[in-house]
Amino acid sequence: MIHKFKIDGYNIVLDVNSGGVHIVDDLTYDVLENVEPPFSDKCPDEVLKKLKKLYDEQDVIECYEEIVSLYNDKILFSEDDYEKFAKTAVSSPVKAMCLLISQDCNMRCKYCFASTGDYGQGRKLMSVETGKKALDFLIEKSEDRKFLEVDFFGGEPMMNFDAVKEIVKYGRQREKEAGKEFRFTITTNGLVMNDEQLDFINKEMKNVVLSIDGRKEVHDRMRPTANGKGTYDLIADNFKRFRAVRGDKEYYVRGTYTKYNLDFSEDVMHLYEMGFDQISVEPVMADPSQPYAITEGDLAKIFKEYEVLAHKISTILNSGKFINFFHFMIDLNQGPCAIKRLRGCGSGNEYIAISPDGDIYPCHQFVGIDKFHMGNIHEGTFDLDIKKEFAASHVYSKPECKKCWAKFYCSGGCNANNYLYAGDIHNAHKLSCQIQKKRLECAIMMRAVKLLDNAQ
Amino acid sequence: MKHIKTINKANLKATAAKGGCGKCQASCQSACKTSCTVANQKCEKEA
């Protein structure tokens, strides 16, 4: 399978199964419209007849020979022989955990998937005891995995910061005893962050996700306080202070765009101009009846906007400055292995979420859905049937993914989005897919052009 | 080649044989948290 696309004046051809990326001329692009394996030694007469109206005949013949040569080298129209690896997909050790340390929030974001922080289950905080037990559970289930990821998530985790500190302290003690390494992360809205908290987070957290949507009016419209006031002015200084001490350690500012700001490249640039150079901005996922929800009719504008964003980012990079947009990150040479690419995030299998009561779910977005309740760490229950179902949720078990060119890049997408908006973890959520594919095309183009420039 | 420039190693198949060690980051723990992209992850297998 190949996928070809035109973007920013370049003709790009992706050989899906080898991962090969080719930049081709217009002639090759047109020849590829008309040929596919099995190939004969000579360019078929009907192709020649059709294309010699537009191109020199000898050039068409040469081009055909180049295509056949790459086919023989197995980097064009290469075979899909990965399904045998997918079929052996079995339950894996658990290596990542989302701790809902605070099922409460001091903001009332209008698009919140967690029902403004309480996941529809009432506002509550996780106890230190539950947090410690969750780390013990993770160590026990991690088998030979050394690096264990724990994300303090909410609601707003800073509302239970003393527990965060105690649990991190416990983790540092337990990792030595168990021969593991905890990689703690925190996702915060930045409303509360004094100097002491800031220093602790900077020291202990491997990655920090700072939630901010971009321009003040965009942010304030969707992210108010409980009493309806905008929060941009309250958080901007905290995040800038954090950025100043963070140096080159990992962090991201993370925003959500909605129907109200389909010109979201402006928000990415606003965040960059604030001094942030690690940026993630994603489409809101919401019921289509919500006025802010992104719908099919918005896609043309969104696709154009990603191209605008790619252009803006390339301009910054070409001027010798640095910016990283999370959703354009791609490594075309040393990325994750094909096995990793079959299953994606690992939710419900390698990755689980723990609620304040110690309930286990496949990920934070499944919390509160009874059907996906996997057990409880206090009761010592852990439903391996649900774990197996998620372990077997790979790109070859998802009919839409199996035939999709992007399957080795998005890896079957988000199981939660698939369930919530397409009815089953195996059903592709088409809106997400279309946006994902556009982001990938931009990312592949930007990287391919860079590699081509480096080679010349 | 005159018409086609191949710009990467195209080595995905080779990674299938040696891959699957599971040491890499869970993709949703990084900066997305509401979506999934794997292409931006890095391999952490020790050489």
The answer to whether A85 faces chain B, any CB pair under 8 Å, is yes
B29 pLDDT band, cuts 50/70/90, is low
Return all residues near A62 (Cβ < 8 A) that are at least 6 apart.
B2, B3
The answer to whether A336 faces chain B, any CB pair under 8 Å, is yes
Of residues B9 and A373, the one with the higher pLDDT is A373
Contacting residues of A for B27, CB less than 8 Å apart = 344-346, 411
Q: What ipTM was estimated for this complex?
A: 0.91
B30 pLDDT band, cuts 50/70/90, is low
Q: For A177-222, how does the pLDDT look when each residue is reduced to its tens digit (9 = 90+)?
A: 999 999 999 999 999 999 999 999 999 999 999 999 999 999 999 9
B34 pLDDT band, cuts 50/70/90, is low
Q: Count of CB atoms within 10 A of residue A279's CB?
A: 26
The answer to whether A27 faces chain B, any CB pair under 8 Å, is yes
Q: Of A62, A282, A344, which has the smallest distance from its Cβ to B27's Cβ?
A: A344
Q: Count of CB atoms within 10 A of residue A31's CB?
A: 24
Residue of A nearest to B12 (CA): A18
B43 pLDDT band, cuts 50/70/90, is confident
Q: What pLDDT is attached to residue B18? A: 80
B32/A344 Cβ within 8 A:
no
Of A96, A95, A123, which is closest to residue A108 (Cα–Cα)?
A123
Given a cut of 90, whether residue B27 has pLDDT beyond it is no
Q: What share of chain B is helix, strand, coil (3-state, %, to 5)?
A: 20, 5, 70
Tokens of A439: 């982001």
| Average pLDDT for chain A | 95
Residues of chain A with pLDDT under 50: none
Q: What pLDDT is attached to residue A409? A: 92
E strand spans, A216-273:
252-257
Q: What pLDDT is attached to residue A187? A: 95
Q: What pLDDT is attached to residue A90? A: 78
Given a cut of 70, whether residue B31 has pLDDT beyond it is no
Residue of B nearest to A183 (CA): B25
Residue of B nearest to A150 (CA): B29
Q: What pLDDT is attached to residue B46? A: 65
Residues A389 and A442 sit within 8 Å (Cβ to Cβ): no
A411/B13 Cβ within 8 A:
no
> What separation in angstroms does the CA of B40 have from each of A300, A410, A446, B29?
25, 9, 14, 12
Four-residue CA torsion sign, A102, A104, A106, A110 = positive
Residues A349 and A361 sit within 8 Å (Cβ to Cβ): no
Q: Of B1, B35, B38, which has the smallest distance from its Cβ to A340's Cβ?
A: B38
Q: For A376-411, how does the pLDDT look when each residue is reduced to its tens digit (9 = 90+)?
A: 999 999 999 999 999 999 999 999 999 999 999 999
Cross-strand pairs, A6: A11
Rg of chain B, C-alpha, whole Å = 15
What pTM was estimated for this model as a whole?
Answer: 0.95
> What separation in angstroms does the CA of B46 have from each of A93, B23, B24?
18, 9, 11
The answer to whether A306 faces chain B, any CB pair under 8 Å, is no
Determine the distance in angstroms separating the CA of A284 from the nearest CA of chain B, rounded to an integer: 9
Determine the distance in angstroms separating the CA of A147 from the nearest CA of chain B, rounded to an integer: 7
Q: How many angstroms separate the CA atoms of A35 and A64, rounded?
A: 9
Residues A268 and A326 sit within 8 Å (Cβ to Cβ): no
